């Protein structure tokens, strides 16, 4: 009888924890709470640690992963001493090696020399010190053939995310890499993955390696080593990472590369006031420990830096879709497709068809058009340049009737405001013959993401009529949602 009572109590506690995790909080509140964390650690620790590679080859012997003295408590203690509030662990990098025992691959810690669930040990250690454990996950997986997208690859990704988001308790945020800038959000459906994460953990924020824009992400991520910093007028809930040494992962000689304390203090003072958390990236060594020099750096920071207490609340966020509806096809008036810059594009995506587009489909290709030298992650952008005709338009076909309430437009980047659409009309139709106007307005003469809202309406076709633009109108990406 006693065993039954104990089991019942444990079950009730477990159910209570699950219910709490699935009690949805308003997105703005989650974002506000997140930027109040201010300071954290990104931990790059995976196969590359043992093979001296930043992007490890995808078919190493799992036994090469051998952190014989692994101690996640040491990591957590060092981070706590620095005044950090959260961490992000690379559960899987682009080579596909998993720091947990995944039943969907043999390329994981269960087949390594040290058969430990590193994710579990990290989560436990950080929680025990009051630090929030967040996760990094690469969608692009070269070992398990997640290379070009499709239903089978998407299912594999969702299955692994289910493991990570059901076996380790509450995860406040997950950051995805190798997705928007590599495969694109259509090859592996952004909306399907987003919905899956939110179903498992409604309060788990989603971040993406895409930089500079809130398009299809809850938290904007700026990758510091690429020169990607928040702008001085930033209002987006953000985070930025810089490496403590010369690489993301630990490499021989890393202990001698630890940056001066003044470097970290400078970055904290620069970015935290901009609603942007600052992350120090630290690569544990091959023993599974932070180097002594890294620990000393963190201890020194904790004595010199205090959280910012007088920053104004996070500004009200721009309206963006929370549900993105993928168009089945697009048609438009005369124009020409462009891929720029052509050289870097050759290395920018494994999907060669993206580099050879010649139709209006470039406006719905799902690949990031937030390009590198403005701080984004894609090596290239695709866009449609409309011919200078009086009647300039595009039509999205959703395939079937769907309810929509938002239309978004991303102008071409790196061209100032050249090509920006400044005056437009939106119309909808069931049959592509009879159109009803639902909006007539203007957009600012900038290259920022534009989102137009309107009363929810059920339709199949959406027509954007371009009434005025700066020079020849251009469009990088368009779409609808709710």
* Residues 413-470 pLDDT 10s: 888 899 999 999 999 999 999 999 999 999 999 988 999 999 999 999 999 999 999 9
Band the pLDDT of 93: cuts 50, 70, 90: very high
Look at 80-94, 270-284, 345-359, 456-470 and tell me which has the smallest mean pLDDT: 345-359
The DSSP bridge pattern shows strands 335-340 and 381-386 to be antiparallel
81 preceded by a cis bond (ω within 30 of 0):
no
For residue 3, pLDDT over 60 is answered with no
Confidence tier at 350 by pLDDT (50, 70, 90): low
- For the ranges 100-104, 122-126, 415-419, the lowest mean pLDDT is seen at 415-419
Q: Residue 225: what pLDDT?
A: 86
pLDDT value at residue 341: 73
What are the C-alpha distances in Å from 220 to residues 42, 247, 320, 368, 438?
15, 22, 13, 14, 31
For residue 343, what pLDDT is reported? 54
Residue 13: which pLDDT band, with cuts at 50, 70 and 90?
Answer: very low
Domains in the chain (CATH in brackets) are 24-304 (3.20.20.80), 324-481 (2.60.120.260)
The answer to whether 133 and 87 are in contact (CB under 8 A) is: yes
Distance CA 71, CA 75 (A): 7
Confidence grade of residue 213 (pLDDT, cut at 50, 70, 90):
confident
Of 20-29, 114-123, 350-359, 367-376, the range with the lowest mean pLDDT is 367-376
Cβ contact 308:272 at 8 Å? yes
Token reading at 394:
């595009």
Of 203 and 226, more confident: 203
d(C-alpha 132, C-alpha 39), whole Å = 11
Picking from 293, 360, 315, 312, the residue whose alpha carbon sits closest to that of residue 333 is: 360
| Helical pair 292-304 and 261-271, crossing angle rounded to 10 deg | 50
Q: Is the pLDDT of residue 267 over 70?
A: yes
Whole-number pLDDT of residue 368: 73
Burial label for 433, CB within 10 Å (0-12, 13-18, 19+), is exposed
pLDDT tens digits along 170-196: 999 999 999 988 888 888 999 999 999
Assign 321 a pLDDT band (cuts: 50, 70, 90): very high
- In the chain, % of residues over pLDDT 70: 91
**Among 124, 123, 53, CA closest to 93:** 53
Confidence class for position 18, pLDDT limits 50, 70, 90: very low
With pLDDT > 90 as the criterion, what percentage of the chain qualifies?
79
pTM more than 0.75 = yes
291: which 2 tokens? 């180097």
pLDDT confidence tier of residue 480, bands split at 50, 70 and 90: very high
Residue range 106-120: mean pLDDT, rounded: 97
Average of pLDDT values for 300-316?
Answer: 96
Q: For position 360, what pLDDT does the model report?
A: 96
Q: For 144-152, what is the mean pLDDT?
A: 92
- What integer pLDDT is reported at residue 14 of this predicted model? 40
Predicted local confidence at residue 352, as pLDDT: 66
Query: Hey, what are 272's tokens?
Result: 């935290």
User: How far, in Å, are 392, 428, 462, 468 from residue 434 at the CA level?
Assistant: 18, 8, 11, 23
Say whether pLDDT at 212 is over 80.
no
Cα separation, 82 vs 282, in Å, equals 13
Q: Which pLDDT band holds residue 344 (cuts at 50, 70, 90)?
A: low
């Amino acid at each position: 009888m006693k065993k039954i009572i104990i089991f019942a109590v444990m079950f009730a506690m477990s159910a209570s924890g699950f219910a709490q995790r699935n009690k949805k909080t308003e997105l703005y509140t989650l974002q506000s709470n997140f930027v109040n964390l201010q300071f954290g650690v990104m931990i790059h620790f995976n196969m590359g640690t043992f093979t001296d590679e930043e992007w490890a080859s995808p078919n190493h012997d799992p036994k090469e992963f051998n952190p014989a003295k692994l101690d996640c408590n040491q990591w957590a203690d060092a981070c706590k001493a620095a005044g950090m509030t959260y961490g992000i662990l690379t559960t899987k990098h682009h080579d596909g090696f998993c720091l947990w025992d995944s039943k969907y691959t043999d390329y994981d810690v269960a087949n390594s020399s040290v058969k430990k669930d590193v994710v579990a040990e990290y989560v436990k250690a950080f929680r025990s010190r009051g630090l929030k454990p967040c996760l990094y996950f690469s969608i692009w997986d070269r070992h398990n053939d997640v290379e070009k997208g499709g239903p089978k690859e998407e299912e594999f990704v969702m299955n692994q995310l289910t493991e990570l988001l059901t076996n380790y308790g509450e995860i406040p945020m997950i950051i995805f890499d190798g997705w928007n800038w590599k495969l694109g959000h259509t090859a592996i459906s952004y909306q399907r993955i987003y919905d899956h994460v939110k179903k498992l953990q409604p309060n788990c924020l989603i971040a993406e390696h895409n930089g500079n824009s809130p398009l299809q992400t809850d938290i904007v991520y700026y990758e510091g080593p690429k020169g990607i910093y928040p702008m001085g007028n930033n209002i987006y809930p953000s985070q930025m990472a810089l490496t403590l040494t010369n690489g993301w992962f630990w490499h021989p000689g890393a202990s001698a590369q630890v940056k001066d304390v003044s470097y970290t203090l400078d970055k904290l003072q620069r970015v935290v006031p901009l609603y942007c958390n600052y992350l120090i990236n630290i690569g544990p060594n091959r023993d599974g420990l932070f180097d002594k020099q890294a620990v000393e750096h963190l201890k020194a920071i904790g004595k010199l830096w205090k959280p910012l207490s007088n920053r104004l609340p996070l500004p009200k966020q721009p309206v963006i879709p929370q549900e993105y509806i993928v168009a089945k096809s697009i048609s438009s008036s005369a124009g020409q497709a462009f891929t720029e810059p052509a050289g870097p594009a050759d290395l920018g995506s494994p999907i060669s068809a993206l580099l050879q587009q010649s139709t209006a489909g470039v406006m719905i290709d799902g690949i990031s058009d937030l390009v590198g030298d403005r701080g984004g992650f894609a090596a290239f952008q695709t866009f449609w340049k409309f011919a200078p005709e009086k009647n300039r338009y595009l039509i999205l076909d959703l395939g079937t009737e769907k309810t929509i309430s938002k239309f978004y437009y991303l102008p071409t980047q790196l061209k100032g405001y050249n090509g920006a659409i400044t005056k437009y009309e939106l119309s909808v139709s069931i049959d592509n013959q009879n159109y009803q106007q639902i909006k007539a307005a203007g957009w600012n003469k900038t290259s920022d993401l534009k989102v137009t809202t309107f009363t929810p309406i059920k339709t199949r076709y959406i027509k954007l009529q371009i009434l005025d633009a700066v020079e020849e109108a251009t469009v990088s990406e368009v779409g609808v949602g709710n």
